[in-house]
Amino acid sequence: MKVKKKKALKTKSPKLTSSSTTKVSADQTHNQYRNILGSRYASPAMSAVFSERHRAEIWRDLWIILASEEQKLGLPISSAQVEALKKAKKDIDFDRIREIETKLKHDVMSHLKAYAEKAKEAEPIMHLGATSAFITDNADALLLKEGAVLILQKLGVILESLGSLMLTYKNLETTGFTHFQPAQPVTVGKRFALWAQDLLWDYEELEFALQRLEPLGCKGTTGTQASFAVLFKNDFKKVKALDDGVCKQMGFDRAVALSGQTLSRKVDVWFLQALANLGASFSKMSYDMRLLQHLREVTEPFAEKQIGSSAMPYKQNPMLAERITGLSRFLMGLSSNANWTFATQWLERSLDDSSNRRLTLPEAFLTADALCESAHRLLKGVQVHKTEIKNRIDIYAAQFETEALMMEGTLKGGSRQKIHEEIRQQMLKGKLNKKGIKYSLSGFASEQVQDFHKNILSPFLKSRKKSKGVSFNAAAI
């Protein structure tokens, strides 16, 4: 099936680079499994964040930062050695790394040895006092940060779109549904506002995880900084200065206070749970859209040459909404991995986390990104069909008036319960007729939307546009 290339939601993001220096022919690429998230659903920007090259460059940044900070604190490391590391940073030979790893069976040491071959002068002082976790966990903290910022940028754009839609349709009354049976009217704008409120809460939760993220820093083999105690001759102030200095060069205020060999896997729980909750909100939105499209009241965009069914040419299926449903289900399922990984770590560390985290962390962020991309496309082209909406309101108008009639009758001295039974009997006998009431069928739905937008959503978006590192601009899409 030929897939039309989608236009990615425009945000500030890392440049997309090749994940390997090895040239692969077109034929070879179709003979191996490729992650569908990267090749079909997620944006190039998020794929770049979790690419092999980007991760390798971060690892080299960390080796440079470590040597630079150790030199500042008096260790015998020359400026020439630090410069050698910087000069060779971009010269990454992935074929050579894989060749070394076939013998060493250790990814960090393979990267280290390949780097040392390019920066020979610095080889004696590379990775001084550090463990593999210094490289992997500090890099993961940076990747979590980059991924979260990109999701927040896209969520901001989506919230702006919903803000515009809710105001446009705040007065348009539509049939409400409870149990997917006709119920008292709401407004189309109120439904957009409800989606926005859920996503706003998800934004806050992911933002909170990001705000309290602290990297591992320099903690040593079991978290005691024993190797650095030797290097700095038991000078704890210098060891603490190294810990803080490394983290500040990484863009954080400080390192985590305590750790074993690794950063607590509880951090993964924060982020994957926040992303899972985001997935749940998108799932709710997608089910609402699928139901509304069935009613032909609100439909997703359908391209001029888009095909809905290979067998039924007339079909216009809710492809985007169904994709959101499926991807959300996958994302929600990933969060349990983080809980299990954290819950089963042994004492100062075990290695059963490594293979699981290599899968779940990138896939969670790529899936969340794909959801944002699909939701953005859906909302940007959403169609509201006023004639269908009015027709359904007219069909059930007599029933919808009954709530107001019960309230009016009670205010005039009647029994609410007796009036309820009288109306129920009239409905069962088919004698319920439209009377015309002076009250809005949708109550204060319009005012609620206006209040939510003015006092909650708009101030929230304005404050986040000014926040450091997470600015977004809907006009740039």
Q: What is the mean pLDDT of residues 463-468?
A: 75
% of the chain with per-residue pLDDT over 70: 92
Least Cα distance to 142 among 54, 28, 227 occurs for 54
pLDDT at residue 313 in the model = 78
Q: Cα(6)–Cα(370) distance, rounded to whole angstroms?
A: 11
Highest mean pLDDT among 201-205, 302-306, 344-348, 461-465: 201-205
User: What mean pLDDT is reported for the chain?
Assistant: 89
Distances (CA, A) of 405 to 201, 418, 435: 37, 12, 9
- Name the active-site residue from 18, 20, 39, 309: 309
Q: Where are the domains of the chain?
A: 52-128, 133-389+444-471
pLDDT at residue 389 in the model = 96
pLDDT at residue 224 in the model = 95
pLDDT at residue 399 in the model = 85
| Least confident stretch, 32-36, 123-127, 346-350 | 32-36
Amino acid at 336: S
Question: Residue 317: is its pLDDT beyond 50?
Answer: yes
pLDDT tens-digit map of 280-307 = 999 999 999 999 999 999 999 887 787 7
Q: Cα(225)–Cα(227) distance, rounded to whole angstroms?
A: 6
pLDDT at residue 305 in the model = 82
pLDDT at residue 419 in the model = 84
pTM score: 0.89
Contact residues for 77 (Cβ-Cβ < 8 A; gap 6+): 67, 70, 71, 125, 128
Question: Residue 466: is its pLDDT beyond 60?
Answer: yes
- Per the annotation, the verdict on 179 as an active-site residue is yes
Question: Residue 206: is its pLDDT beyond 60?
Answer: yes
| Least confident stretch, 59-63, 151-155, 382-386, 468-472 | 468-472
Highest mean pLDDT among 5-19, 299-313, 360-374: 360-374
Question: Residue 17: is its pLDDT beyond 70?
Answer: no
Is 186 in a helix, a strand, or coil?
A: strand
pLDDT tens-digit map of 393-439 = 999 988 888 888 888 888 888 898 888 988 888 888 877 777 877 78
The model's confidence at residue 55, banded by pLDDT at 50, 70 and 90, is very high
Amino acid at 263: L
pLDDT tens-digit map of 329-358 = 999 999 999 999 999 999 999 998 899 999
pLDDT at residue 7 in the model = 55
Provide the CATH number for the domain formed by 133-389+444-471 in this structure: 1.20.200.10
Whether 214 and 252 have beta carbons less than 8 Å apart is answered as yes
Whether 253 and 341 have beta carbons less than 8 Å apart is answered as no
- Per the annotation, the verdict on 335 as an active-site residue is no
pLDDT at residue 18 in the model = 36
- Name the active-site residue from 30, 179, 310, 355: 179
pLDDT tens-digit map of 153-195 = 999 999 999 999 999 999 999 999 999 999 999 999 999 999 9
pLDDT tens-digit map of 247-265 = 999 999 999 999 999 999 9
What CATH number does domain 52-128 carry, 3.40.50.720, 1.25.40.420, 1.10.275.10, 3.20.20.70? 1.10.275.10
The model's confidence at residue 470, banded by pLDDT at 50, 70 and 90, is low
Contact residues for 289 (Cβ-Cβ < 8 A; gap 6+): 298, 300, 318, 321, 378
Q: What is the mean pLDDT of residues 98-123?
A: 95
pLDDT tens-digit map of 39-48 = 888 999 999 9
Question: Residue 13: is its pLDDT beyond 70?
Answer: no
Distances (CA, A) of 245 to 131, 258, 274, 352: 17, 16, 29, 30
The model's confidence at residue 270, banded by pLDDT at 50, 70 and 90, is very high
